């Protein structure tokens, strides 16, 4: 039987009942007796207790008080053994996480994005692996990214290209992404936003300890993302987040948009997961921008001026059949690949290079540089229009290069 039920039954079984007159008489006698005792010597808890217990009526009344007091104490002790869940517990629990495996599902897609993360002793990201299925890879298709030792390696499966870049831009974006997904930081942000009045947090802690704690965070109109709702599932034993579901307010109803699942907390990740070389087929094109000077230094040139200069020097290199230089200007592509691309014709001369225009695809950056080039194919010369995409080199904003197709 629970302590609260004990209290209820004990009080119910007390048979002695008092009238208002009896109650007033007891109270007056107590006050009179206490006043008289104070004239002779200071009252002590023992003296007061003896005075109260001289009457049968007060004995029964005191017994009821003792029963209630003891029952409440037991009830509170029972609560203290199973403390109510608080977000701070999850924040504290996640500070000890060293390894993490995340699956990111999108509504309508069966295959998730997957992330493997290793943290150092200070809680900073040490190694990352990101597996993007076709639906998440944009125009690149399915791809794998590994970041470690200040370098990012990308395996473009569709293009059969393996690219290594410096981390100053790409890795920083990946790190920001991981920080957004890291449940420790996610819970910390919710906690802060609740204090700021931007998020309403509701916590459901089931009595069944095998069931997860459910934390529902609804973003209020004052937040930067109103209409969003996140539902966190927290393991009651470890206080770690096991999943997060995402909902978006549409037509007055929160509709499911995705789910993240978190696995293998502190289970060491095989070091081979962060080494891509063994997964790359021998016929894949390899580009390493960390071992060569890719593109051109911008120096004092404006953005449009350096874009034009990259295109000019690229075609001049092709005219001179300097495929190594042309490859460095074209994202660091190997000379043999450049030679293969232009094997069907020779570049004779540059006819014109027009004013660069912003690259039409959002998020890509840089410019598209229209130009006209005279080429010779099978002894026949012709003028062909081209539009080369030029932007800063990944991780090296002071250098500009050609990227994408021609």
Residues 354-366 pLDDT 10s? 999 999 888 788 9
- Each residue's pLDDT, cut to its tens digit, for the chain (406 residues) gives 444 444 334 333 333 344 455 445 544 554 554 455 455 444 444 443 343 334 333 333 333 333 333 333 333 333 333 445 555 555 455 456 788 899 999 999 999 999 998 888 877 778 899 999 999 877 789 999 998 888 889 999 988 999 998 875 555 665 666 666 566 666 777 788 888 889 898 989 999 999 999 989 898 988 778 889 999 898 888 888 899 999 999 998 999 999 999 888 888 999 999 999 889 999 999 999 999 999 999 999 999 999 999 999 999 999 999 999 999 999 999 999 999 989 999 999 999 999 999 998 887 889 999 999 999 999 999 999 999 999 999 888 999 999 875 4
Which segments of the chain belong to CATH 3.10.450?
Answer: 292-403
Query: What is the Cα–Cα distance from 49 to 45, expressed in whole angstroms?
Result: 6
DSSP labels, 156-201 = ETTTTEEEEEESTTHHHHHHHHHHHH-HHHHHHHHHHHHHTTSEEE
pLDDT of amino acid 161: 93
Residues contacting 21, CB < 8 A, separation 6+? none
CA angle centred on 98, ends 96 and 103, rounded to 5°: 110
Domain spanning 292-403, CATH class: alpha beta
Q: Is the dihedral of CA 279, 281, 287, 288 positive or negative?
A: positive
> Where in the sequence of the chain do the CATH 2.50.20.10 domains occur?
88-263
Nearest residue to 354 (alpha-carbon basis) of 373, 338, 341, 336: 373
What pLDDT is attached to residue 166?
84
- Whole-angstrom distance, CA of residue 248 vs CA of residue 252: 10
Architecture of domain 88-263: Clam (2.50)
Alpha-carbon distance of 199 to 87, in angstroms, equals 13
Cβ within 8 Å of residue 151, ≥6 positions away? 164, 165, 166, 167, 171, 290
Under DSSP, the state recorded for 344 is T
CB of 360 closer than 8 Å to CB of 331: no
How high is the pLDDT of residue 406?
A: 46
CA angle at 68 for the pair 62 and 71, rounded to the nearest 5° = 135
Supply the pLDDT for residue 392: 94
Question: What is d(CA 224, CA 271) in angstroms, rounded to the nearest whole number?
Answer: 39
Contact 296, 400 (CB under 8 A): yes
Q: Give the pLDDT confidence score for residue 10 in this predicted structure.
A: 31
pLDDT at 207: 92
């Amino acid at each position: 039987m629970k302590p609260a039920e004990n209290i209820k039954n004990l009080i119910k079984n007390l048979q002695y009942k008092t009238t208002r007159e009896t109650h007033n008489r007891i109270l007056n006698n107590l006050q009179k007796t206490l006043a008289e005792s104070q004239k002779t010597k200071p009252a002590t808890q023992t003296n007061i207790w003896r005075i109260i217990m001289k009457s049968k009526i007060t004995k029964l009344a005191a017994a009821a008080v003792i029963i209630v007091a003891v029952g409440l104490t037991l009830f509170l002790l029972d609560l203290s053994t199973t403390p109510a869940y608080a977000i701070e517990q999850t924040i504290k629990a996640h500070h000890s996480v060293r390894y993490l495996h995340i699956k990111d599902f999108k509504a309508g897609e069966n295959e998730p994005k997957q992330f493997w993360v290793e943290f150092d002793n200070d809680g900073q990201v040490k190694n990352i692996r990101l597996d993007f299925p076709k639906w998440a890879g944009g125009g690149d298709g399915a791809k794998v990214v590994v970041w470690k030792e200040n370098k990012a390696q990308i395996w473009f499966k569709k293009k059969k290209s393996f690219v290594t870049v410096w981390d100053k831009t790409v890795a920083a974006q990946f790190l920001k992404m991981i920080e957004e997904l890291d449940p420790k930081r996610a819970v910390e942000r919710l906690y802060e936003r609740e204090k700021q009045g931007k998020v309403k947090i509701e916590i459901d802690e089931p009595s069944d300890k095998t069931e997860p704690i459910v934390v529902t965070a609804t973003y209020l109109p004052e937040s930067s993302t109103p209409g969003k709702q996140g539902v966190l599932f927290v393991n009651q034993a470890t206080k770690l987040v096991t999943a997060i579901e995402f909902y978006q307010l549409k037509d007055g109803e929160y509709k499911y948009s995705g789910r993240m699942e978190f696995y293998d907390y502190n289970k060491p990740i095989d070091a081979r997961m962060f080494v891509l070389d063994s997964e790359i087929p021998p016929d894949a094109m390899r580009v390493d921008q960390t071992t060569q000077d890719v593109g051109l230094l911008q120096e004092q040139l404006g953005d449009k001026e350096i874009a034009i200069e990259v295109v000019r020097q690229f075609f001049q290199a092709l005219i001179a059949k300097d495929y190594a230089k042309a490859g460095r200007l074209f994202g660091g592509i190997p000379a043999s690949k450049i030679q293969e691309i232009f094997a069907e014709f020779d570049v004779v001369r540059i006819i014109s290079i027009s004013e660069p225009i912003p690259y039409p695809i959002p998020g890509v950056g840089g410019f598209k540089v229209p130009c006209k080039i005279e080429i010779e194919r099978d002894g026949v010369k012709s003028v062909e229009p081209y539009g080369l995409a030029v932007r800063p080199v990944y991780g090296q904003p002071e250098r500009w290069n050609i990227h994408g197709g021609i």
